[in-house]
Structure formats: structure tokens, C-alpha cells
């Protein structure tokens, strides 16, 4: 009998996804915009190299207009000779585009807000002025030999027909890509799908989506954007970024691969190492329950789960931990049962009676209720107390001639 590791119903639904899916990772830009996070130049180049190694297609390396050192970092990443294309962010302003030109990037990600709220309180511009600025920026970038993408900031609160108008004019001005942004993460999958599919009808250019996780829907929204005809999705490692963060690279790639059977060529076994590098550089603790790459992503404590995992890992793991470069941890604590104890004793060739094993389990549960996780040292000291000096199993003793 064949067993399915993930629910078969997602793939059965036959979501229509584009032939080509592009990940443009923004760990170095939106990720670094997370309050309190700053990457040094060395950290940026090493993160960029690791992103390239796992096969990310495009790297958004920064926002050159922010500072001279930010600009230097973008320039440096662009000069590394990576397989990934290097992109940078730019307002629809000449001085920003000049900075991008200096960095010698493959494409500039222009943006201008399109929601009436942002027009009134931030840009203090009319819709006509926004259209003019957007077209001017695409023109200017193209004239300087830069491929230009134009995104409408705050798309999920913008009038779709106004965005369509702007995108049409930008396409005419020579833009290479157009992007929607759920800047506040305040659109659900239906909103994202509606906006992308409406704009899909109006332009032939590739569409991108930059999405946030404020309602915890970033990955869902990314899949929704693809299904509506977008082809490029902005991600960040671990989903770091402003406020609640962005689409997590790991979650997005793994959802596409396993739930929707779409392999986009990312080498998933490098994801845990990449996430550790980024969290360390950002001086952020890796959340224990971070999907796929966190220490608990493949940890089991409950006796029922451990017993089943020891018999067949797929019972409580729908992905093999090695596939994402992580590992399985069988943890001792108040939920432990006899199977993990037996398996640990067997590993070391220690024999114990059924009664002694039950005593060991009781002691582990007591310790777990006192202070949570039971360490290896503590486990062996419990074993010592219960069975005396652990006598090696005679079968495991090397026979001396």
C-alpha cells in the first residue's frame, strides 16, 4: 500500500500555477528593515552567497538611497558574480534611480503609492501626478539602461482601475515587470486574487507580488497571487521583515513543492543553514516552532508520537528533516513513554527489565513536570539510579580473543 505524506486533496484541486515561478528574495532589504536589524557588509555578502547557493532566482539587495553604506553593499552584492540576478529598490525619483544605476544591478524595483490614503497623507499628490511620476521614473531608468519593474505600493487598498491605468502607461514606457504590494498585509487571499487577476487581464508583462504577514496569511496570499497569474514572489528567510514580516522563503518553497507539486528548483537542503545564518546575523533568536527550519520542526516528545515515529517517521513527519537540512530530535519530558527509553538504552547496549523501564519513565515524567525538557545527562543519571551502574548488554561487548 502507498501512503501519502501530505494531504492528497491540495494537489487534487489542481490549482493553476504559472509554468515559471520566480523567487525574488528580499531578506537583505525588507528583512533588514525589521526594527533593530542591521547587517554588516560581510553579513550581506555571505547571506547573498547562501541565497544564491540554494538557488534563489533574484536577490533584492537593498535600497541604495537609504545611505552610502547601503549603496556600497548593493554594489558589492551586484559585483559578486552570482547566478541570481541582483535587484534593488528605488522610489520613483531621479536621485534614487541614479543611485541604482551606480550599483550596476540587473533590475530596479521602482515603487509609488497608489492608495488614495497614501496619496493624500504621504505623497500629497493627485492621481494624475502619480501617473506622471511613475511614467517618468520608468522612462528615466530605461534611458539609463536599467530594466525597470514598477510596483504600486499599498495595492490592496488601491483602486484597481487606477492601478491598471498606471500599469498600462508603465508598460507603454518600457517597464519589464509590474508589481502589486500588500504593504500592510491587510489583504486576504481573495483580495490578492482579485487584484492580480484584474491586472493580469490588462497587461502582458510579468507580474510580481510583495506581501506581508500581518494576518498570518503571507504564504497563502503568495499562492493566491500565483494562481491568479503572478509569476514573481518576494520572500525573506524566516519571513523576517517589517512588522509581522514577509512571505517566508522556506514556507513558500515547501508549500509549492509538497502541497501543489511544483518544484521551483530551490535546493531545500540548504534552508536550515541559511535560516540560522540570517537569524544569527540579525541577532534574533530562532523561534523554536519556526516551520521547517526551527529546532522543534522535527522534535517529538509525546510518547505516542515517539513510538510511532520510531516505527515509521511519516506517521508524524510529512517531510523528511534532511530534505530541509534539519534533523529529528526525540526529546525527553513529561510526555515521554517507554519506547524512547527502550530505544536509548538499546543504542548504548544497556539492558533493563520492563519494570525498571517503567520506573525510568516515571522519573522522567516527574523531572519534566518540574522543569520541562529532560537533558541527556539527567536521563543517564536517572538510568543510573534505577538500574545501578549501567551494565553493557553482553551482545554488544566486543569479544576478546
Task: Give 182's strand partners.
Answer: 211
Asked if residue 154 binds Mn ion (CB under 5 A), the reply is no
Closer residue to Mn ion in complex, CB, 60/359: 60
Q: Residue 60 or residue 171: which is nearer to Mn ion going by CB?
A: 60
Residues belonging to the chain: 401
The minimum distance between CB 363 and Mn ion, in angstroms, equals 51
Q: Which is nearer to Mn ion, 30 or 301 (CB)?
A: 30
β-strand partners of 299: 329
Q: Which residues contact 382 (CB under 8 A, 6 or more apart)?
A: 360, 363, 364, 367, 374
The nearest distance, CB 273 to Mn ion, in angstroms, is: 25
Under rule CB under 5 A, which residues in 28-67 are in contact with Mn ion? 30
Smallest distance, Å, CB 208 to Mn ion? 12
Q: Which positions from 15 through 34 interact with Mn ion, judged by CB under 5 A?
A: 30
Distance in Å, CB of 183 to Mn ion, minimum: 6
Q: How far is the CB of 13 from Mn ion (least distance, A)?
A: 29
Size of the site for Mn ion (CB under 5 A): 1
What sign has the CA pseudo-torsion 281, 286, 290, 296? Answer: positive
Nearer to Mn ion, 30 or 70 (CB): 30
Q: Rounded to the nearest 5 degrees, what angle is found at the Cα of 88, between the Cα atoms of 171 and 139?
A: 30
Q: Which residue is nearest to Mn ion (CB)?
A: 30
Least distance between Mn ion and beta carbon 242 (Å) = 5
Q: Which three cell numbers stand for residue 214?
A: 500581518
Residues 6+ apart with CB under 8 A from 377: none
Cell numbers given for 322: 534532511
Residue 34 or 352 with smaller CB distance to Mn ion: 34
Which residues, including other chains, have CB under 8 Å from residue 132's CB and lie 6 or more apart?
none
Closest to Mn ion by CB, 110 vs 309, is 110
In whole angstroms, give the CA distance from residue 373 to residue 301.
Answer: 9
Q: Which residues bind Mn ion (CB under 5 A)?
A: 30
Amino acid at each position: 500500500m502507498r501512503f501519502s505524506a501530505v494531504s492528497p486533496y491540495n494537489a487534487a484541486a489542481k490549482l493553476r500555477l504559472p509554468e515559471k515561478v520566480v523567487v525574488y528574495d528580499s531578506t537583505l532589504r525588507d528583512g533588514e528593515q525589521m526594527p533593530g536589524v542591521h547587517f554588516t557588509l560581510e553579513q550581506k555578502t555571505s547571506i547573498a552567497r547562501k541565497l544564491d547557493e540554494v538557488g534563489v532566482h533574484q536577490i533584492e539587495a537593498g535600497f541604495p538611497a537609504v545611505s552610502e553604506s547601503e549603496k556600497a553593499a548593493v554594489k558589492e552584492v551586484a559585483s559578486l558574480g552570482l547566478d541570481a540576478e541582483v535587484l534593488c529598490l528605488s522610489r520613483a525619483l531621479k536621485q534614487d534611480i541614479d543611485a541604482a544605476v551606480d550599483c550596476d544591478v540587473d533590475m530596479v524595483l521602482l515603487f509609488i503609492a497608489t492608495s488614495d490614503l497614501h496619496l493624500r497623507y504621504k505623497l500629497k499628490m493627485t492621481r494624475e501626478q502619480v501617473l506622471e511620476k511613475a511614467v517618468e521614473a520608468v522612462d528615466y531608468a530605461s534611458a539609463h539602461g536599467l530594466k525597470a519593474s514598477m510596483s504600486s505600493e499599498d495595492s490592496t487598498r488601491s483602486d484597481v482601475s487606477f492601478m491598471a491605468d498606471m500599469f498600462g502607461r508603465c508598460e507603454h514606457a518600457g517597464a519589464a515587470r509590474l508589481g502589486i504590494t500588500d504593504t500592510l498585509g491587510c489583504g486576504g487571499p481573495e483580495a490578492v486574487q482579485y487584484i492580480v487577476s484584474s491586472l493580469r487581464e490588462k497587461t502582458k508583462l510579468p507580474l510580481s507580488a510583495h506581501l506581508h504577514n500581518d494576518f498570518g496569511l503571507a504564504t497563502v496570499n503568495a499562492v493566491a497571487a500565483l494562481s491568479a497569474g503572478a509569476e514573481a514572489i518576494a520572500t525573506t528567510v524566516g519571513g523576517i521583515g517589517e512588522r509581522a514580516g514577509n512571505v517566508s522563503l522556506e514556507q513558500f518553497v515547501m508549500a509549492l513543492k509538497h502541497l501543489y507539486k511544483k518544484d521551483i528548483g530551490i535546493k531545500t537542503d540548504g534552508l536550515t543553514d541559511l535560516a540560522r545564518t540570517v537569524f544569527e546575523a540579525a541577532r534574533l533568536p530562532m523561534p523554536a516552532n519556526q516551520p521547517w527550519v526551527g529546532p522543534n520542526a522535527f522534535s517529538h516528545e509525546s510518547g505516542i508520537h515517539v513510538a510511532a515515529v520510531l516505527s515509521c517517521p511519516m506517521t508524524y513527519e510529512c517531510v523528511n528533516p534532511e530534505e530541509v537540512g534539519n534533523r529529528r530530535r526525540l526529546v525527553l519530558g513529561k510526555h515521554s513513554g517507554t519506547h524512547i527509553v527502550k530505544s536509548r538504552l538499546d543504542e548504548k547496549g544497556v539492558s533493563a527489565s520492563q519494570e525498571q523501564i517503567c520506573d525510568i519513565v516515571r522519573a522522567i515524567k516527574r523531572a519534566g513536570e518540574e522543569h520541562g525538557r529532560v537533558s541527556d545527562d539527567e536521563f543517564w543519571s536517572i538510568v543510573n539510579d534505577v538500574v545501578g551502574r549501567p551494565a553493557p548488554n553482553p551482545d554488544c561487548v566486543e569479544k576478546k580473543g
